[in-house]
Structure 1
Amino acid sequence: MTESTTTSRILHLLSLLQTRRYWSGDELARRLGVSGRTLRRDIERLRDLGYVVNANRGVDGGYQLDAGTDLPPLVFTDEEAVALAVSLRTSSALDGIADLNVAALAKLEQVLPSRLRGRIAALAAATTPTTPRRVSAPVDAEVLAVLALACRNSERVRLRYSSGAGEESRRQVEPVRLVWHSGRWYLVCWDLQRADWRTLRVDRIDDVFETRVRFTPREVPGGDAAAFVVDRLGGLPTGFTARIRIDAPIEAVREWMGAYADDFEADGDRTIWSPSDRYLEPLAGALIWLQWPFEVLGPPELVELLEGHDRLRIRRSGGAAEVGRRKMEDPLRTRSDEGVHG
């Protein structure tokens, strides 16, 4: 057997150990197509490389990849590497872990084969995310990671939590799910002291300690953790809905905006656009897509925000704001040709 064959088999073994918490020896040997003796030698080779592989003897004996003092190399399939890179790209706007995401993405893309870099670049170029939500308070990346592992492994944790009034409490909980909602991370858990479900803001959690005590997960009320969080918080914030009168027929506006927006209604030979968002800034930013003069009919908060914008001409007119751009001499020129003028 060649050295390359042995290396490939060990990498395959490592990949299998990373995908499941526990493997029986017989199943691993069958997956690899080797004898039990060869499997044990390969396990030893992994240990020599720094991986902590625990072995349980007996009829039901098997192997488990455990955490070590140092982070050893990891093995990803092509599909896993692409998924990881895309996830890091799309989560780079999350406060508290943004810098860590960028650093991890840089390391990953540096070693990716060119065929995978091309796939990731194509995916990034072909997709457009919506405006990221602002996060009022950053989270501790280590706390988030410990809670995620506790949810996955169904292990109790002890933590210190600060309420909105600043009152601190120490709790022992059974974490079930992490939910990202309206710019914040929430932990859905069963509070052992209170014998009830709790929704805890992760940015208010400090000093998380693993207990290594396993539990049988309870079913979240309603069976949906995300819906449970929304219900506990009283539903989604109403946010803002703008009303923009565009000096162009609705057919032309729809053709220009494409898939970017569809909330239009005809107003004679003009168009009313009613975009909604929780925050005012994305609504203001959306106006740069328009190539025609337009009038902001509301809400008043958006009018006030636009009045301080140095790249748009705004004139108050009976409670509304008239926002204009220098008319293009050639109506076929694009925004990049014309630019935004004050």
Structure 2
Amino acid sequence: MSLLERIYYLHARIQDGRYPNSGDLIGEFEVSAATAHRDIAYLRDRLLAPLAFDQKKNGYYYTDSGFRLPFADTPRLVTLLGVLQKMGEETGLTNLPELRQLQKKIAALVSPKQQGLAELIHCEWIETEEVAPSVFSEVLNGLLNRTRLRITYRSPGEREYVREIDPLRLVNYQGRWYILSWCLLRDSRRLFHLARIIRAERTEKRTEHVLAPDDDCLAGSFGIFKGETAGRYWAEVLLTGTAAKIVRRQRWHPLQRLEVTEEGLHLHLPLTDDRELLMKVLQFGSQARVLAPESLRLKARTEIENMSKNYNYSEK
């Protein structure tokens, strides 16, 4: 039985006016006298319970009947921890031993009646990829210890190459894990998808590059394809029908601007790369139209024309 279960037991008996003592803990949980006394001290000293001992009744009581355990009846806390656990499972970190430790800690943190709450949470991301536990651990160590890493990376085209990187930020975007890094070969910042890193190893070198707290390279533009903010520009998309009603309630980017006109909803977004926005526009079909910049409007039109060729055939 966990410490928290014994604390809940002790707390409940005090609230019921049962005047429990160390003997009750020993008898109920089959723990040693030393453990029982530590539990009582934990309730008094760490949880600041107004605990007093009644010599006549040979047990403990609260001098303030309104005292509550700080973690009692907190389904929101359990929900938050459960979401973190489910996020790890659904974003490619299933094999991490730390995730299993988190599950155990959740069970130890909450009352028995709340332990099933995490199982009532369902989180689902699509198009996720498994991250090797060894890679994840090395990346975290590199970040925390400011150590340069040598990674072997496999591109979407299955080409493998080796890079030395200074890790800057661990990024989760739409369920996928990335490491924002300074690439020594390219002498610029690059995002590497963790699931495509085959091997990661620490070097003896310290990182030379850091990300300043006020650097907005991650938040300065829409989408995962990040570029330098000096190359940022604005795109405008017109949404109509159901798409307009949906997007009006959404936040695609902190700097977005929404404008309602007779035509529909005008969505303005900062970009440094237009690939992801193009995919989003195509997702809404005829209810989304690129207005600016002209280069993106032409890309959208060309892609739609090429897509139509896939369906331009006569049924036999």
TM-score, length of structure 2 as denominator length: 0.42
Q: TM-score, normalised by structure 1?
A: 0.40
